[in-house]
Chain A
Amino acid sequence: QVQLQESGPGLVKPAETLSLTCTVSDYPNIRGSWWGWIRQPPGKGLEWIGSIDNSGSTYYNPSLRSRVTISVDTSKKQFSLNLSSVTAADTAVYFCARHLMFRGVTYFDSWGQGTLVTVSS
């Protein structure tokens, strides 16, 4: 069973860039799957942020596209999220997850524990 763990600062100042890393373990080849980021503002629902596929192509939520970058580091078995120009509205629990995606099928079968990121000065 693949394991995922998010890491990064829990507090980010407004207008700065939120940077998180997800470390993947118990999985032979990080390039063998899609990986995604999902967030959940306090008391609200899930929001898909974006995903990176097994060739390195990225897909982003249209509402966040101008501020989001997702990348993968195969040597470290990690993938990362950068969200620029953050505001208080970006305060949320951020989850990384394995994204199964093929022929119209999409789902997230393994999730990290989530990390709360607060945007505040």
Chain B
Amino acid sequence: QSVLTQPPSVSAAPGQKVTISCSGSTSNIGNNYISWYRQLPGTVPKLLIYENSKRPSGIPDRFSGSKSGTSATLDITGLQTGDEADYYCGTWDSSLIAGVFGGGTKLTVL
């Protein structure tokens, strides 16, 4: 059971928008910044979003993140078939004094 809760799967059509949620508590999301990672099949996780909403160099603005209270969301617009992957949220838990990840969400582009 992951400390952060994500939906196991989401799906949407090409060109559409999808939102992936990540729910936690005051000890993790509520008081720390969230990051998001994308893992294409058989590859290494890649940082998509850090500090809730910042994108590393090279990440297109189709990817955006936000946080409110103890929840965070990753929005992906203009979906492409190449976006099919597993997406993970992550943060620090100040009570556990530990890094934590969500269980991951599998995105299917129909």
Residues of chain A whose beta carbon lies under 8 Å from any beta carbon of chain B: 36, 38, 45-48, 51, 59-62, 95, 99-101, 104-109, 111-114
Chain A interface, DSSP helix/strand/loop, else mixed: strand
* Centre residue among A46, A99, A111 by max chain B CB count within 10 A: A46
| Interface size, chain B (Cβ < 8 Å) | 28
Q: Are B44 and A95 interface neighbours, CB within 8 A?
A: yes
Q: For residue B62, give the distance in angstroms from its CB to the closest CB of chain A.
A: 20
| C-alpha spacing A22/B107, complex, angstroms | 31
Q: Are B51 and A47 interface neighbours, CB within 8 A?
A: no
Kindly identify, within residues 85 to 110 of chain B, every residue whose CB is under 8 Å from any CB belonging to chain A: 86, 88, 90-92, 96-104
Q: Are A51 and B2 interface neighbours, CB within 8 A?
A: no
By a CB distance below 8 angstroms, the chain B residues around A38 are 45, 101
